[in-house]
Every structure is written in structure tokens, then in C-alpha cells.
Amino acid sequence: MTNLHWKAAEKRFGIWGVRDYYTLLEQMAQEGAEITSGYVLMILAAALLATAGLLLNSPAAIIGAMCVAPFLGPSRAVCIGGLFRNRKIFVGGLLKQIAGLLVVGTVTAYIITVLLRDTTPGLEITHEILLRAMPTTRDVVLTVLIAVGAGAAASLSLTADPRIVAKPWGQIIDAMIGVEMAISLLPPAAVIGIGLAFGRPEISQNAFWLLVVNVIGLDFLGSTLMLAIRGVRPRYLEAEKAIRQTTEEALVAALDCQMEEVTARVVLLSEATTDVHVKVYCQGQSPPSASAAEAAASRITARTGYRSKVRVELIPCQSFSTFQLGDPLPGGTPWR
């Protein structure tokens, strides 16, 4: 294979030239797998809107509920955790997704429907409910296509323009994609509760299986498959972590100063090259950094096989803290 073909092969898979890209993906997945009070409250609000829209037969109200539902985070945790072989993130994201849909969404829809059925006359099974409860083959196929497309879009937003992971405006795109995801997830979950409240178990059963199919299409056929096609691999995450750790260890050994903080930013340029920018906050006079950078680059190559360009930025600093170990922080947690 010629050098030109080899370089083309290197560029074919993986995301290159983005600082800490795979580490940021892992951080996004970790955050997406955490169940927070905000997550539960947002689903409560979305389930209330979705239930009202389904009972009112109002597509506009249902779409409004989709704008509130926060299901992008756990879906990403499932697909990224699976690709990175991180069981904790994968299971956490899946449990968060299931708990949000079935425990919060379905139960909320059930309670609201029972309360309204006993106090408000004229409630009945509407066309919007039947779309999720008694879907035709056409409805199922098209709904699954929507789920797969939404999952693929969620992954493409991270890979087609990979710098979006570190950009604040990426949250706008995430919000729009989150709406598409929620269309496939929350209405069936709400219909499960509505069917149970009306004493129609066949409605709940059909909606449940539609939800299961949509989750599979969204998380695996859409999101995970697209990330895999775009070249997201666990070995690149491992490489970033190994390069970062090796750099920090090399600087600790090479620099003769009291370090306050070491921050290493890793940019994978290909399968075999990397760019590392390190900021070292140290007390006292800054020593020359050329030898430290050379030592770090040599150790990176020896340990990971990556050829690297290492830049070391030494920042003199002085620090003083009035905190003592065990003193409470403003939130009441002891400082350690």
C-alpha cells in the first residue's frame, strides 16, 4: 500500500482534529445516564401535555409535549455507552429511559386519565390514541422509520460537524432532535396508561410493543449504527485517556516545580498522530519547558505508539485558601 493510500485509509474512520472529542462524548453519555429531579419534572410536564393532547385529539398539543420531553440524553447514553463498552453508562441510560417512559410517563397518564374520567364527561378513545393503540402495518413501518431517522440525526449531529460537542449553540440542534425522538417515545408510553385507565388492556399492550420497537429503532438501528458507521470506536477513547495520563506523568517527572494543576488537551489527528496542548499551573519561577515537552512526546510514542506534537504552557501562580479540611461548603458538604 502506498503512503497516499495509507493516509486515505487512516482518514476513513474516526473523527479527527477535534480536541478531546471522544472524552467529551463519554462525558455527555455520563450526564445522560444520571437521573435528576429536573429530568423527572420535565417528563411529568411532558406527560401531562401529551395525555391532554391525546384525550383531546389534538396533534398540536402532542407536538407541544414533545418539545418538553428530555429523552435525548438517555438515548445517547445507551448508544455511546454501548459503543464504548461501558456497562455502567449503557445500563444507566437504558434504565433512565425506561423509568422515564414507563414509570413516570405511563403512570402520570394513567392517574390523569382516571381523575378526568371520574370528573369530566365525554372522555373517549380518540383517533390520536388509536394511532398508537391499533396501528396498521403502514403506521408501524412509518413510525419506526421516524424513530430510526431521529436516532440517526442525533448521531449525525455529533459526527457530521464534530466540533458541535464543545459549542453552546449545539444545544439548539439537540433541542430540535430531542423533539423528533420524543415523537416516537412519549405518546405510546402515555397511551399505555390511558388504555389501563379505560380498562382496555389490548390498547396498552399494542402501545407497549410499539414503544419497544421504537426504542430499538431509535437507540440501536439509528443512533448506535450511525455512530459506528462514522467511526466512533472505544480504542480512540482509550488512546485519548492514555495520552493524557502519559503526558501528565511525564511532566511530573520532568518539571522541577510545585504543580497546582495540570490540564492536557488531546487532539487525535489520525490513527497514529496526535497534538497535545498542556497547561501547567505551578508555584514559583517557571523552568524551561522544551525538555519537558520532548520528554512527554517521547513517552507518548513509547507507551501508545502515537507520534505527537506536545506544547507545554507553564503558568506561574500563587494560591492561598482559608478552607480547612472538613469545613462545610455553601451547600453543606464538607470540603475535602
Residues 214 and 257 in one domain: no
Q: State the helix-helix crossing angle for 21-32 and 234-254, rounded to 10 degrees.
A: 110
Range of the domain at 311: 235-316
What's the whole-model pTM score? 0.83
Q: Is residue 222 part of a domain?
A: yes
Residues 218 and 143 in one domain: yes
**3-state secondary structure (DSSP) of residue 206:** helix
The answer to whether residue 2 is domain-embedded is no
Distance CA 55, CA 49 (A): 10
Q: Is residue 324 part of a domain?
A: no
d(CA 66, CA 43): 10
Note the pLDDT of residue 236: 94
Report how far Cα 74 is from the mean position of its chain's Cα atoms. 6
**DSSP 8-state symbol, 328:** B
Q: Which residues in the chain come in under a pLDDT of 50?
A: 1-10, 335
Sequence-separated contacts (24+) of 23-27 with Cβ below 8 Å: 23/237, 23/240, 23/241, 23/244, 23/266, 24/165, 24/166, 25/80, 25/84, 25/158, 25/165, 25/232, 25/237, 26/80, 26/84, 26/86, 26/89, 26/237
Same domain, 24 and 89: yes
Q: How many domains does the chain have?
A: 2
In degrees and rounded to multiples of 5, residue 275 shows phi and psi of -120, 125
First to last CA, the chain: 56
The 10 Å Cβ neighbour count of residue 291 is 12
- Cα–Cα dist 254/173, whole Å: 44
Return the C-alpha cell found at 181: 425522538
Reading the block at residue 203, the C-alpha cell is 390498547
Q: In this structure, what CATH number is given to the domain that contains residue 256?
A: 3.30.70
Q: Looking at residue 285, what is its pLDDT?
A: 58
Domain presence at residue 331: no
- 312 φ, ψ (degrees, to nearest 5): -115, 125
Q: SS3 helix, strand, coil % of the chain, rounded to 5?
A: 65, 10, 25
Q: What pLDDT, on the 0 to 100 scale, is given for residue 140? A: 83
| Spatial distance between the Cα atoms of 218 and 42, rounded to a whole number of angstroms | 20
Q: How far apart are CA 179 and CA 86, in angstroms?
A: 27
Q: What pLDDT was estimated at residue 66?
A: 85
* Same domain, residue pair 183 and 271: no
Q: Are residues 312 and 223 in the same domain?
A: no
DSSP state of 165: G
